[in-house]
Amino acid sequence: MNTFRSPLFWRLLISVLIANVLVLILGGLLTRSVISYSTQQAFDWPALAQAANEAYENGGNDGLENWIRQQREQGVDATLYENGEPLRDIRLPQTIRHTLPDWLSSGHDVALNPWPGFYIAVQHVTGTDGHARQMVAVSSARTRVPPRMREKILLAVQCVLSLFTIAIIGWWVARSVSRPVDAMRAATRRMASGEFATRVDRRWVGKHDELGQLARDFNAMAERIEMLVAHDRGVLQDLSHELRSPLARLHLILDLAQHSNDPQEAAAHFQRAEQEIARMDRMTAEMLALSRLEGGLPGMVHESVDMAALVEDRVTAAHIDAEARGITLQISGGGPMVVQGSGLLLERALDNVLANAIKFSPSNGVVHIALSEQAKQLELCVRDHGTGVPAGEIELLFRPFFRGTNAAQASGHGLGLAIVQRVMQAHGGEVTARNVDDGGLEVVMRFPASMPSESV
pLDDT in tens, 128-142: 888 899 999 988 755
The CATH number of whichever domain residue 56 belongs to comes to 3.30.450
Q: What is the pLDDT of residues 82-93, one digit of tens each?
A: 988 899 888 888
* Phi, psi at 42, each rounded to 5°: -100, 120
Q: Is 308 inside any structural domain?
A: yes
Rg of the chain, C-alpha, whole Å: 49
Asked which of 269, 294, 319 is the last residue of a domain, the reply is 294
pLDDT > 80? residue 17: no
Give the structural domain span for 98.
45-144
Confidence of residue 37 (pLDDT cuts 50, 70, 90): very low
DSSP string, 278-344: HHHHHHHHHHHHHHHHHTT-TT---EEEEHHHHHHHHHHHHHHHHHHTT-EEEEE--S--EEEE-HH
DSSP string, 31-92: HHHHHHHHT-----HHHHHHHHHHHHHHHHHHHHHHHHHHHHHTTEEEEEEETTEESS----
Q: Are residues 282 and 396 part of one domain?
A: no
Confidence of residue 407 (pLDDT cuts 50, 70, 90): low
Q: Are residues 317 and 234 part of one domain?
A: no
Q: What is the pTM of this model?
A: 0.45
The number of CA neighbours under 13 Å toward the Cβ of 49 is 22
Greater confidence, 36 or 337?
A: 337
Confidence of residue 95 (pLDDT cuts 50, 70, 90): confident
Q: Are residues 138 and 223 part of one domain?
A: no
Asked which of 273, 294, 315 is the last residue of a domain, the reply is 294
Closest CA to 447 of 422, 432, 435, 430: 430
* Phi, psi at 25, each rounded to 5°: -70, -55
Contact at 8 Å (CB) between 429 and 449? no
Confidence of residue 455 (pLDDT cuts 50, 70, 90): very low
Q: Are residues 308 and 331 part of one domain?
A: yes
What is the rounded distance in angstroms from the CA atom of residue 426 to the CA atom of residue 419? 11
Task: Determine the average pLDDT of the residues in 451-455.
Answer: 40
Q: Indicate the number of domains in the chain.
A: 4
Beta bridge partners of 111: 121
Q: Are residues 160 and 30 part of one domain?
A: yes
Query: How large a percentage of the chain has pLDDT more than 90?
Result: 10
Q: Which amino acid appears at position 253 of this protein?
A: I
* Phi, psi at 442, each rounded to 5°: -115, 125
Confidence of residue 157 (pLDDT cuts 50, 70, 90): low
Give the strand order in the sheet containing 85-86. Answer: 85-86, 76-82, 132-140, 118-126, 110-115
The pLDDT of residue 409: 54
The pLDDT of residue 123: 92
What is the rounded distance in angstroms from the CA atom of residue 319 to the CA atom of residue 327? 9
Contact at 8 Å (CB) between 51 and 67? yes
pLDDT > 90? residue 273: no
362 secondary structure, DSSP code: P
- Which of 32-41, 159-168, 183-192, 396-405 shows the lowest mean pLDDT across its residues? 32-41
Q: Is 194 inside any structural domain?
A: no
Q: Is 395 inside any structural domain?
A: yes
Q: What is the pLDDT of residues 41-61, one digit of tens each?
A: 567 889 999 999 999 989 988
Q: What is the pLDDT of residues 203-238, one digit of tens each?
A: 878 777 778 888 888 888 888 888 778 767 766 766
